[in-house]
A and B are shown apart, each in its own frame.
Chain A
């Protein structure tokens, strides 16, 4: 923004903007509304993820499984929910849930830190299904 005291310049009509600026403004408004409209859905997923992580951290594995399930309902491709739900299935002490845990992490790529945590709870028999695991 610059001031100019040269009064002979033509004053622009107030609130009259070029067509492309009007179109650009409409796009920005639509983009903002789109983000606002989508936000409750993602806020709910992120809140459930946080609650699930807290439940898992205190050893409430079955409680966390339910909450991770809620996250996956809202955001089916959440990698974090897949990995942590699988860890809860493995850690809850019920061997019948192990296959459900394995199913959740099929096609998932782990980073070193995630893999280190996963092998602490994953049944040994499943390790054979994973390739190119980092050197621990």
Chain B
């Protein structure tokens, strides 16, 4: 397993960072949670962030934390789908550069689907503090464990493998392999 500095990955996959932060901001607005500051992309760690006010319910926190994961995942699947077919399934000879651009954008978005360390820690803290909505708490607990594990496995390229898996998911569902 080789190491690539985070800022290099962020530069190479910047569309994913922007989509992720935009989704946080958008769903914070939807949840009527005040947003104070947004950085959609920068050369630093983290590559993007959203500073928002206190979230007073697990449902809202769920929306703000999990929605970007779903948005990035779905966009990755849809955008890479059409490129995967000519490049890997049909083995086309003269593949237009447009398909490689689609593949890059879609894959970049998929790589940034997982919530960041900070997202996960905040989410776990909110889940622990929640006393009501038993079902939602169990679901949130499971999701927080998944996100925690995903963050641990980032060192082993879990985010890249996740994006790769998403890219292959629709062709598999359609039975194209």
Total number of A residues with any Cβ neighbor in B under 8 Å: 40
Q: Is A71 an interface residue (CB 8 A)?
A: yes
- List CB contacts (< 8 Å) of B105-151 with chain A: 105-106, 109, 115-116, 118-119, 122
In the complex, chain B residues whose CB is within 8 Å of the CB of A75 = 86, 90, 92
> Is A36's CB under 8 angstroms from B24's CB?
no
Q: Which among A9, A18, A42 is the interface contact of B90 at CB below 8 angstroms?
A: A42
> Is B15's CB under 8 angstroms from A3's CB?
no
> Is B90's CB under 8 angstroms from A80's CB?
yes
Q: Which among B29, B36, B50, B81 is the interface contact of A15 at CB below 8 angstroms?
A: B29
Interface centre among B34, B80, B91 (most CB of A within 10 A): B91
* Chain B residues touching A, range: 35 or more
> Is A1's CB under 8 angstroms from B65's CB?
yes
Q: Is A38 an interface residue (CB 8 A)?
A: yes
Beyond A47-B176, A80-B91, whether A1 also contacts B64 by CB under 8 A is yes
A4, B119: Cα distance in complex, Å: 13
Q: Which among B15, B22, B36 is the interface contact of A17 at CB below 8 angstroms?
A: B22
> Is A77's CB under 8 angstroms from B92's CB?
yes
- Mask: chain A, 79-96; 1 = CB below 8 Å from B; 0 = not: 111000000000000000
> Is B19's CB under 8 angstroms from A28's CB?
yes
B: residues with CB less than 8 A from A are 15, 18-19, 21-22, 24-26, 28-29, 32, 34-38, 40, 49-55, 64-65, 75, 78-83, 85-86, 89-95, 102, 105-106, 109, 115-116, 118-119, 122, 171, 174-177
A: residues with CB less than 8 A from B are 1-7, 9-12, 14-15, 17-18, 21, 24-25, 28, 31-32, 34-36, 38-39, 42-43, 45-47, 49-50, 71, 75, 77-81
